[in-house]
Homo-oligomer: A and B are copies of this chain.
Amino acid sequence: MGNSTIKTAEELAESFREISIAEFFEKNRHLLGYENPTKALITVVKELVDNSLDATNEARILPEIKVNLKQLSENRFKIIVEDNGPGIVKEKLALAFGKLLYGTKFHRLVQSRGTQGLGASGAILYSQLTTGKPTKIVSSTGKDIHTYELVIDTVKNEPHIINHNSEKNVDGWHGVIVELEVEGRYIEKEQSVLEYLKQTAMTNPYAKIIFNGPNGKFVFDRTIKEIPKQPKEIKPHPHGVEIGILRRMLKYTKSRNVSSFLTNEFSRVGKNSALQICKLAKINANTKPQNLSHEEIERLHKAMQSIKLIAPPTDCLSPLGERLLTEGLKKETGAEFVVAVTRPPTVYRGNPFQIECALGYGGNLQPDQQAQLYRFANKVPLLYNQSDCALTEAATEVDWRRYNFSQSQGQLPQGPLVILIHFASVWVPYTSEGKQAIAKYPEIIKETKLALQDAGRKLGRFISGKRRLLEAQQRRGLFEKYIAEVAEALSKITNKSKDNIKTKLETMLKKENIIDEAIKETEENGENDEENRTEGKD
Please list the residues of chain A having a beta carbon within 8 angstroms of any beta carbon in chain B.
3, 5-10, 12-13, 15-21, 23-24, 26-28, 30-31, 35-36, 55, 58-60, 86-89, 91-92, 95-96, 99, 101-108, 116-117, 125, 128-134, 141-142, 151, 153-155, 174, 230, 232, 242-248, 251-252, 294, 297-298, 301, 385, 387-388, 427, 429-433, 439-442
Cβ of A128 and Cβ of B244 under 8 Å apart? yes
Please determine whether A103 and B16 come into contact, CB atoms closer than 8 angstroms.
Answer: yes
What are some 27 contacts across the A-B interface (CB < 8 A)? A7-B86, A8-B141, A9-B87, A10-B89, A12-B86, A13-B91, A17-B103, A19-B106, A19-B107, A20-B101, A21-B101, A24-B116, A28-B116, A28-B429, A30-B429, A31-B430, A36-B440, A131-B243, A132-B298, A153-B248, A154-B248, A155-B248, A155-B252, A385-B388, A387-B387, A388-B388, A431-B432
A30 partner, pick from B8, B60, B153, B431, beta carbons under 8 A: B431
Q: Is the CB of A129 within 8 A of B7?
A: no
A449 to B58, CA, bound (A): 49
Chain B residue with minimal CB distance to A132? B243
Q: How far is the CA of A3 from the CA of B382 in the complex (A)?
A: 32
A104 near B35: Cβ-Cβ < 8 Å:
no
A162 to chain B, nearest CB (A): 9
Residue of B8, B24, B26, B245 near A86 (CB, 8 A) is B8
The 9 lowest CB-CB distance pairs between A and B, nearest first, are A129-B244, A132-B243, A15-B104, A9-B141, A30-B439, A388-B388, A19-B101, A9-B86, A387-B387
- Contact between A15 and B108, CB atoms less than 8 A apart: yes
Known pairs A128-B247, A245-B26; A8 contacts B59 (CB<8 A): yes
Contacts of A8 in B (CB 8 A): 59, 86, 141
- Report Cα–Cα, A230/B101, bound state, in Å: 36
Q: Is the CB of A35 within 8 A of B102?
A: no
Candidates B10, B252, B427; contact of A27 at CB < 8 Å = B427
Name the one of B12, B232, B429 contacting A104, with C-beta atoms under 8 angstroms.
B12
Chain B residues positioned under 8 Å from A55 (CB to CB): 12
Q: Are A7 and B155 in contact (CB under 8 A)?
A: no
Q: Bound complex: CA of A242 vs CA of B128, how far in Å? A: 9
* Residue of A9, A86, A431, A439 most packed against chain B (CB within 10 A): A9
Distance in Å from the Cβ of A105 to the closest Cβ of chain B?
A: 8
- Which chain B residue shows the least CB distance to A37? B442
Whether A19 contacts B244 by the Cβ 8 Å rule is no
Contacts of A99 in B (CB 8 A): 18
Complex contacts, A92 vs chain B, CB 8 Å: 13, 16
Instruction: Tell whether, in the assembled complex, residue B154 and residue A36 are in contact, meaning their CB atoms are under 8 Å apart.
Output: no
Q: Which B residues lie within 8 Å of A18 (CB)?
A: 99, 101-102
CB-CB under 8 A from A108, the residues of chain B are 15
**Contact B387 A7, beta carbon cutoff 8 Å:** no
Given the contacts A26-B244, A132-B244, A59 and B106 also touching, CB distance less than 8 Å: no
